[in-house]
Amino acid sequence: MQPQQVFRAYESTISIEEDVQRTRFCRQCGEPCVSEVVEGGIRSTCTACLAVQYKNPQPAVAVLIVDGGRFVLGKRLSKSLGHGQWCLPCGYVEFYEDYLSAAVREVKEETTLDIRVQSIISVVTNYLSPNIHSLVTVLLAEVIGGELQAADGMEEVAWFPYTGDFPEMAFEADTHIISRYFETDLPGAPVDAAFASS
């Protein structure tokens, strides 16, 4: 099973130039922006303070919690992206937070489980919607405490045996990540133990 690390959930209907023009006001000072070529790409630049309005994907983490041949999925609440569908516990990394602590926190918030992160098993780019492009570090983890219970952002959480079949999944990347983990002897990259559990 070959690695796949770029997933596209939509086809863009506007050009990069048109998208850049949507950033009309400076995020730093609030003055109007213009589009111009900066560092080889078209970008929005402030007419007052000259700040370039870089647009970047959002860093996130997803966690494959495994116990023998089974793994944890959560069913997303109806207000969120991928509502009513299943996904790995996941979330965005906060500005003042390292990505391993983000993974431990997100799992605790969504499932109430305490985990220890064991390894990095992939990094994926998700083009989820015109406004949401994520860069997701995918981590393998084991449970070290707590009871599996649906919490923040989850309607339901459950252990699933790996059979190759999945419930309706919110993100194509998750299906690939889980299948690849169970169907290959994938050695993950080690993680910094000082941040791997709470």
Catalytic residues: 156
Can you count the helices (H) and strands (E) in the chain? 3, 11
Q: What are 56's two structure tokens?
A: 């970047």
Whichever of 10 and 25 has its CB closer to Zn ion, that residue is: 25
Give min distance, CB of 54 to Zn ion, in A. Answer: 13
- Which of 7, 20, 26, 90 is the binder for Zn ion (CB under 5 A)? 26
The terminus-to-terminus CA distance of the chain in angstroms comes to: 33
Size of the site for Zn ion (CB under 5 A): 8
Where on the phi/psi map is residue 146: left (φ > 0), alpha (ψ -120 to 50), or beta?
Answer: left
Question: What does the alpha-carbon distance between residue 51 and residue 5 come to, in Å, rounded to a whole number?
Answer: 32
Question: What does the alpha-carbon distance between residue 101 and residue 122 come to, in Å, rounded to a whole number?
Answer: 17
Pick the piece of the chain touching Zn ion (CB under 5 A) from 27-35, 99-107, 128-136, 177-185.
27-35
Give min distance, CB of 21 to Zn ion, in A. Answer: 16
Whichever of 26 and 121 has its CB closer to Zn ion, that residue is: 26
Give min distance, CB of 55 to Zn ion, in A. Answer: 15
Whichever of 26 and 191 has its CB closer to Zn ion, that residue is: 26
Q: What would the x/- binding string for Zn ion be over residues 29 to 68, using CB under 5 A?
A: x-x--------------x-xx-x-----------------
Where are the extended beta strands (E) located within the chain?
6-8, 33-38, 41-46, 58-67, 70-76, 86-87, 90-92, 114-129, 132-145, 154-161, 189-190
Give min distance, CB of 135 to Zn ion, in A. Answer: 26
Whichever of 20 and 46 has its CB closer to Zn ion, that residue is: 46
Query: Does 121 sit near Zn ion (CB under 5 A)?
Result: no
CA 128 distance to own-chain centroid: 10
Contact positions vs Zn ion (CB under 5 A):
26, 28-29, 31, 46, 48-49, 51
